[in-house]
Structure 1
Amino acid sequence: MTPAPTPTASAALAVLRRLVGDPAAELHDGQLEAIEALVDDRRRALVVQRTGWGKSAVYFVATMLLRERGAGPTVLVSPLLALMRDQVAAAERAGVRAVAINSTNAHEWQDVLAALAADEVDVLLVSPERLNNPSFRENQLPTLVRRLGMLVVDEAHCISDWGHDFRPDYRRLRDLVAAMPPGVPVLATTATANRRVVADVAEQLGTGGADVLTVRGPLARASLRLGVLRLPDARTRLAWLLSHLGDLPGSGIIYTLTVAAAQDTARLLREAGHDVRAYTGQTDPADREAAEGALKRNEVKALVATSALGMGFDKPDLGFVLHLGAPSSPVAYYQQVGRAGRATASADVLLLPGPEDRDIWQYFATASMPDRGRAERVIAELSDEPLSTPALEALVDIRRTPLELLLKVLDVDGAVRRVQGGWVATGQPWTYDADRYARIAAARVAEQEHMLEYERTDGCRMEFLQRSLDDETAAPCGRCDSCAGAWYPVDVVDGAAASAGRALDRVGVPVEPRAQWPVGADRLGVPVRGRIAVEERASEGRALARLTDLGWGNALREIFAAGAADAPVTRAMLDGCVRVLAQWGWDERPTSVVALPSRRRPLLVDSLARGIADVGRLPYAGALALRDGGPTGEPGGSSAFRLAGVWQRFDASALELPPGPVLLVDDLVDSRWTVTVAARELRLAGVPEVLPFVLALRG
């Protein structure tokens, strides 16, 4: 005899049916267990369930039941703006009053705070970064914590530095959990956590000795039809896409590994008549929101996206996910393909790996773990007087993005703290956990090898992904190309390869001139600040290509790889450079060529400058002379240090230059301070315009 439902079960079912607008809706296995734990027992729970299972229903239903019992609002920590937008929209459809505080709606914060004060908000969505904003942390968070009805941590694998998408800001949630009043339930949800990540997240949720309920279900996605199509090169992969994008069901997402690849692929597809848009971390926020909406309304065939379009993006009828290049781990891949087939019987998922994938993984292998020497430099420079990030950057020789990441890690470790006006040292001892960081680095390498195994396996691909997530229910799916045979065509239609080849052979990337001196340069003996005088600036330059480009990027990455031998420029690469120069469209043609002296690749730079001068029938004036031993410093440092390393190191006085613009040739542009200082030296020597030209643009 089936036991009678508990009062909470009956109430939860009624709320669910009201939220989804379906009088026949039923709770899934595990949903009621989590809801009762939160509402009746005020417990802490971790829910690990596949995408589309209904994790949001758990926190929306639990929120409404808690609110009916007099609890305060739920705070939902959400990692991405796109995910926040979807969650707010889903809440509104369900009659849940949800508002967000994030970087794009600062003009609405006062209204949001007023609604909270009036108890007119059921769910407040915040980013993990917002929790450490000094004003929010000190002025709003304490009041919010006292009234908190429930804390929800979405995409909770971000808490764990063992996870595929670790974010240091998430680590602070442990402190928030510890600061909450007794009896406030906590829910963490994710679809991508293996056994090690589950244990790490549960340990952090259990701060204070609280027991954590883990609700874990099977991660198989019966709607997904997985496949791997190995093609020889980027041209063939793009040709396949040109040939068969129209055959893929509905609308979907085409993932690439780099911003350049997303932009180039989208342009190629649009030129071929396909309605697609690029979506990357560099896309304007308003354009990103518009692109999301266009995809949801099926107004475009696809978004060509980087991982910026990832966690939680909600389009239940997404028909396909295709990857041009593989993510660096099966877990990250499972997370991205989980966008498809959430409310459809079938969706196609196809991976087109490339031989360059491993190089790109290595290129983007940024350390979310602190480097001992860098961390100690940062701590040593901080005191109890706040120091801004730009000012700190000028003291420690760490570029802005890795410095901000390092500060977040040290903040979580308790060694530094963000306050109004910048960062301070806490005075707490900090120990570098070398063993842990080495194990994590080794785990990252193992994940990359595991991804290559996924590509090569002749076993079930869904089962492989499930086992990667330690899903003990893993079993053959019967649908993937290993189980049922290849379901995708392998041919390329006439003309597609030629179109793809032309797209990959496209050359010429603008190199924007520096217009502002870096903060703190004067502290390093460089007597400049503010804007660079117009009469001392370089003009906009050109690069043959980016290192991350699909086409020329492969050849360039070989040249600039660690340990690669210095060699003269190849004829093919020189021909590509000549095409860039022919397309440049400058106001006045250069009248001479000058090279930047190179310590690492003198043969390459000299042959490039001489080759361009010969083809363009321009006089080659030689290389700038070096003063005091030449530039100092290494790539990757802060702007102020990079500038100090090249300041007054170049001498143009010995060059015999005809009147007119100079084409300034170098091999690689990264920070742009080398060409900026060299151009300034030439301008001060009377050159009316300096046009930088380089083989490669980093990034």
Structure 2
Amino acid sequence: MDDLELRAEADAILAELVGDPGGSARLREDQWQAVAALVREGRRALVVQRTGWGKSAVYFVATALLRRRGAGPTVIVSPLLALMRNQVESAARAGIRARTINSANPEEWDTIHEEVGRGETDVLLVSPERLNSVDFREHMLPKLAATTGLLVVDEAHCISDWGHDFRPDYRRLRAMLTELAPGVPVLATTATANARVTADVAEQLGTGAGEALVLRGSLDRESLRLGVIELPDAAHRLAWLAEHLNELPGSGIIYTLTVAAAEEATAFLRQRGFTVASYTGRTENADRLQAENDLLENRVKALVATSALGMGFDKPDLGFVVHLGSPSSPIAYYQQVGRAGRGVRHADVLMLPGKEDEAIWRYFADTAFPREELVRQTLATLAEAGRPLSVPALEAAVDLRRTRLETMLKVLDVDGAVKRVKGGWISTGEAWAYDSERYARVARQRAGEQQAMRAYVTTDGCRMEFLRRQLDDPDAAPCGRCDICAGAWIASSVSAEALTGAEKELDRPGVEVEPRRMWPTGMPALGVDLKGRIPAGEQGATGRALGRLSDIGWGNRLRPLLAVNAPDGPVPDDVLRAAVAVLADWARSPGGWATTGPDAAARPVGVVAVPSLSRPRLVSSLAEGIARVGQLPLLGSLTYVGQSDAHVVRRSNSAQRLKALSDAFTVSEELAGALARVPGPVLLVDDYTESGWTLAVAARLLRRAGSGNVLPLVLASSA
């Protein structure tokens, strides 16, 4: 078959894919170039093209052509469930049978494996996490590598630790690449890769310049109109949304930096009469599906989302993207705004940066590769164990939070130093070098990206050109559309009424603080005789906090007060008033002590403080103020007997945190006597809870000393 016949067949498949069989749809020349390289030449190709360019059309058309010629199924490694759902539906339009294996459908895995084995599946979409599953790697991956007709790595920037969304699971692809049959084509695609990431992805995939076709196109998005609106505070930003959301075209996405901010904005906009839905990492899968469908069908004006709604969500007529706060990376920002304007001529993209953005960047910045001594400690622990160790068991030996520990283990796995097996992780005994220079360069790049986002807000040059230059687009030029090139097109004003409503919403304090109910795994190995479920009679109750540090309301007020270097002093009057308001709402809530009925709780009989080394005046004055206003006796404080720094350990994993706290407090004779004189529930007052273990240890001590239920009240929580 010559090129003309192959091109005609490819175009016919494209017409079916876009729902216009027999129509005039044709692959563009650059798309055809990629398809031809895969189908006719069996090459490896790296495609770096803007969002909406049509990368999925390339691999679906190539899949149909290859399957007609007897090739095995296409395997697409795809990072997000939204992408998988969209693409399964798209493939069906062209008669391509697609299935997906991911965390949301484990009950279907066996059936899907059988269908693949019988040749009944044309496309198998696999989440990168599956690549690191022992069963999948040992049983399914070798079969796929032997039968795959085309391997597609979507959102390939995730392979690179220079990229804004590095995912170590992706590096498992190197093993699959080495096992592919000769001549099997490979397609890697991304819309968000600068020159360094492009080179790194090519290296990771084994697609060096001499082997791969690299298609890198212009990253301009002609439909997008970019703008920045700087407003004084979070209340003004929420008020602006309420005032101007209906002026934005169609339906869209409002991105926030935190889950708490998404929930706050959603609640406020609903109060103002807008049909919006929240979409975050806390959203249940069924609710996510419903939210996606509601947006696709324009049943909502907007989804208020975190980065959980990112790569792969495809709504061609998405009319706007608004950022309530600035992301920390211009590349991540470009990717998120790329959700808009794919199938419409004009879409609005607006950023509303906040003064709290950088504090939130710092809060979530704990992603650097761990220090060498912690890595060596992990390797030594695995080597000495002589058996597989689970991540919870490793937490007892290595002071890393679970997500960082898991990420580190995945990197070490790809590097050959450890191996994931049934039951946990083992050491391979292979030599391993700590690449401190590379990790330092990555950290410097992250800092540079943050500086670029500061510059984006204040630039007097074209905003689209700025973003394109951040992605090393050689054709970057002024767009003529953004608020710098063409002037602001939407007012920044807010009405007094909208502002008052926003302030009222953000000033409302109070979030629940869930108690710890299980001790961490591995505590006996640390010399702490605590394991299993915490007895009900030693648990604290569900407590309350004024707000989360990630809130855009009370979080903004509390972050400076609780900062590491903040001066200690009496609790501010407004904070005390808010704490009293939280206490009053708590009392009136269902089951609270101000309610009646069989489920009503007993009224607290007194106040107990948690001793603080870093903020003793703040905590003691908070406890005194609560006792005074609530007309409760101040029973005293737990006594701190731990090491000088044990009580202020932060960012530790649960096992290490509990070890530091397990014998750090005691109940003095004076406090024990006070508890005996007024038996009943007590309010336990502290400034901040992150892991929840300080409150758990304190509650256990008080319950064992004879108190009734322990009701924690803190200024801030981290979650």
Q: TM-score, normalised by structure 2?
A: 0.95
Counterpart pick for 1:505 among 504, 507, 515: 507
- Asked whether 1:338 is paired with 2:338, we answer yes
Query: Aligned with 2:29: secondary structure?
Result: coil
Query: Aligned with 1:458: secondary structure?
Result: coil
Structure 2 CA distance, aligned partners of 1:241 and 1:208?
47
Structure 2 CA distance, aligned partners of 1:466 and 1:163?
15
Give 4+ residue runs of structure 1 displaced > 6 Å after superposition.
none
- Asked whether 1:598 is paired with 2:607, we answer no
Query: Aligned with 2:340: secondary structure?
Result: coil
Is the CA contact (8 Å cut-off) linking 2:576 and 2:625 kept in structure 1?
yes
Q: Which amino acid aligns with 1:16?
A: L
The answer for the alignment partner of 2:646 in structure 1 is 632
Structure 2 CA distance, aligned partners of 1:443 and 1:175?
28
The answer for the alignment partner of 2:319 in structure 1 is 319
How far is the alpha carbon of 1:311 from its aligned partner?
0.4
The answer for the alignment partner of 2:596 in structure 1 is none
Counterpart pick for 1:396 among 395, 398, 401: 398
Query: Aligned with 1:187: secondary structure?
Result: strand
- Asked whether 1:13 is paired with 2:11, we answer yes
Query: Aligned with 2:651: secondary structure?
Result: coil
The answer for the alignment partner of 1:691 in structure 2 is 711
Structure 1 CA distance, aligned partners of 2:437 and 2:339?
36
Q: Which amino acid aligns with 1:646?
A: L
Query: Aligned with 1:481: secondary structure?
Result: coil
Structure 1 CA distance, aligned partners of 2:455 and 2:209?
40
How far is the alpha carbon of 1:458 from its aligned partner?
1.6
Counterpart pick for 1:654 among 670, 691, 694: 670
Structure 2 CA distance, aligned partners of 1:628 and 1:157?
46
Counterpart pick for 1:448 among 447, 450, 461: 450
1:255-404 pair list within 5 angstroms: 255-383=255-383, 384-404=386-406
How far is the alpha carbon of 1:406 from its aligned partner?
1.4
Structure 2 CA distance, aligned partners of 1:361 and 1:628?
32
Is the CA contact (8 Å cut-off) linking 1:44 and 1:210 kept in structure 2?
no
Instruction: Say which is worse superposed, 231-240 or 616-625, in terms of deviation.
Output: 616-625
Q: Which amino acid aligns with 2:15?
A: R
- Number of paired residues? 696
CA RMSD of aligned residues (A): 1.5
The answer for the alignment partner of 1:86 in structure 2 is 86
The answer for the alignment partner of 1:678 in structure 2 is 698
How far is the alpha carbon of 1:474 from its aligned partner?
1.3
The answer for the alignment partner of 1:424 in structure 2 is 426
Is the CA contact (8 Å cut-off) linking 2:45 and 2:207 kept in structure 1?
no
Q: Which residues of structure 1 form unaligned runs of 5+?
A: none
Instruction: Say which is worse superposed, 634-643 or 235-244, in terms of deviation.
Output: 634-643
Q: Assess, with a 3 A threshold, how the Cα gap between structure 1 residues 435 and 601 changes in structure 2: closer, same or farther.
A: same
The answer for the alignment partner of 1:613 in structure 2 is 627
Using the aligned pairs only, state the percent identity: 60
Structure 2 CA distance, aligned partners of 1:336 and 1:208?
29
Is the CA contact (8 Å cut-off) linking 2:540 and 2:696 kept in structure 1?
yes
How far is the alpha carbon of 1:689 from its aligned partner?
1.1
Q: Which amino acid aligns with 1:438?
A: A
How far is the alpha carbon of 1:27 from its aligned partner?
1.1
Q: Deviations over 1:202-258 (max 9, x none)?
A: 122226996011001111111111111111111101110111112211110000000
Structure 2 CA distance, aligned partners of 1:567 and 1:434?
41
The answer for the alignment partner of 1:552 in structure 2 is 554
Is the CA contact (8 Å cut-off) linking 1:511 and 1:541 kept in structure 2?
yes
How far is the alpha carbon of 1:334 from its aligned partner?
0.5
Q: Assess, with a 3 A threshold, how the Cα gap between structure 1 residues 629 and 434 changes in structure 2: closer, same or farther.
A: closer
The answer for the alignment partner of 1:588 in structure 2 is 602
Structure 2 CA distance, aligned partners of 1:649 and 1:330?
45
Instruction: Say which is worse superposed, 5-14 or 666-675, in terms of deviation.
Output: 5-14
The answer for the alignment partner of 2:103 in structure 1 is 103
Counterpart pick for 2:489 among 487, 490, 513: 487
Q: Deviations over 1:289-344 (max 9, x none)?
A: 11111110111111000000000101111111000001111111110000001000
Query: Aligned with 1:398: secondary structure?
Result: coil
Structure 2 CA distance, aligned partners of 1:330 and 1:628?
45
Q: Assess, with a 3 A threshold, how the Cα gap between structure 1 residues 302 and 419 changes in structure 2: closer, same or farther.
A: same
How far is the alpha carbon of 1:505 from its aligned partner?
0.5
Instruction: Say which is worse superposed, 39-48 or 514-523, in terms of deviation.
Output: 514-523
Structure 2 CA distance, aligned partners of 1:627 and 1:426?
42
How far is the alpha carbon of 1:493 from its aligned partner?
2.6
How far is the alpha carbon of 1:132 from its aligned partner?
1.6
Q: Which amino acid aligns with 2:689?
A: V
How far is the alpha carbon of 1:402 from its aligned partner?
1.6
Q: Assess, with a 3 A threshold, how the Cα gap between structure 1 residues 46 and 629 changes in structure 2: closer, same or farther.
A: closer
Query: Aligned with 2:128: secondary structure?
Result: coil
Structure 1 CA distance, aligned partners of 2:152 and 2:657?
43
Structure 1 CA distance, aligned partners of 2:567 and 2:494?
37
Is the CA contact (8 Å cut-off) linking 2:13 and 2:94 kept in structure 1?
no
Counterpart pick for 2:567 among 539, 545, 565: 565
Structure 2 CA distance, aligned partners of 1:488 and 1:230?
12
How far is the alpha carbon of 1:9 from its aligned partner?
1.9
Q: Assess, with a 3 A threshold, how the Cα gap between structure 1 residues 575 and 112 changes in structure 2: closer, same or farther.
A: same
Q: Which amino acid aligns with 1:639?
A: S
The answer for the alignment partner of 2:540 in structure 1 is 538
Q: Which amino acid aligns with 2:703?
A: R
Is the CA contact (8 Å cut-off) linking 2:44 and 2:207 kept in structure 1?
no
Q: Which amino acid aligns with 2:718?
A: R
How far is the alpha carbon of 1:589 from its aligned partner?
2.0
Is the CA contact (8 Å cut-off) linking 2:19 and 2:93 kept in structure 1?
no
Structure 2 CA distance, aligned partners of 1:583 and 1:147?
62
Q: Which amino acid aligns with 1:145?
A: A
The answer for the alignment partner of 2:68 in structure 1 is 68
Q: Which amino acid aligns with 1:444?
A: R
Q: Which amino acid aligns with 2:189?
A: T
Q: TM-score, normalised by structure 1?
A: 0.97
Query: Aligned with 1:370: secondary structure?
Result: coil
Q: Deviations over 1:387-414 (max 9, x none)?
A: 1111111221322222111111211221
Query: Aligned with 1:479: secondary structure?
Result: coil
Structure 1 CA distance, aligned partners of 2:110 and 2:514?
38
Q: Which amino acid aligns with 2:554?
A: W
Is the CA contact (8 Å cut-off) linking 2:538 and 2:700 kept in structure 1?
yes
- Asked whether 1:189 is paired with 2:189, we answer yes
Structure 1 CA distance, aligned partners of 2:146 and 2:312?
29
Structure 1 CA distance, aligned partners of 2:96 and 2:418?
38
Q: Which amino acid aligns with 1:642?
A: R
How far is the alpha carbon of 1:141 from its aligned partner?
1.0
Q: Which amino acid aligns with 2:174?
A: R
Query: Aligned with 2:603: secondary structure?
Result: coil
Q: Deviations over 1:263-290 (max 9, x none)?
A: 0100011111111111101111111111
Q: Assess, with a 3 A threshold, how the Cα gap between structure 1 residues 124 and 210 changes in structure 2: closer, same or farther.
A: farther
- Asked whether 1:641 is paired with 2:656, we answer yes
Q: Which amino acid aligns with 1:581?
A: L
Q: Which amino acid aligns with 1:432?
A: Y
Instruction: Say which is worse superposed, 236-245 or 374-383, in terms of deviation.
Output: 374-383
Counterpart pick for 1:462 among 457, 461, 464: 464
Q: Deviations over 1:91-110 (max 9, x none)?
A: 11222110001111111111
Q: Which residues of structure 2 form unaligned runs of 5+?
A: 593-600
Structure 1 CA distance, aligned partners of 2:29 and 2:475?
15
Is the CA contact (8 Å cut-off) linking 1:178 and 1:208 kept in structure 2?
no
Is the CA contact (8 Å cut-off) linking 1:328 and 1:361 kept in structure 2?
yes
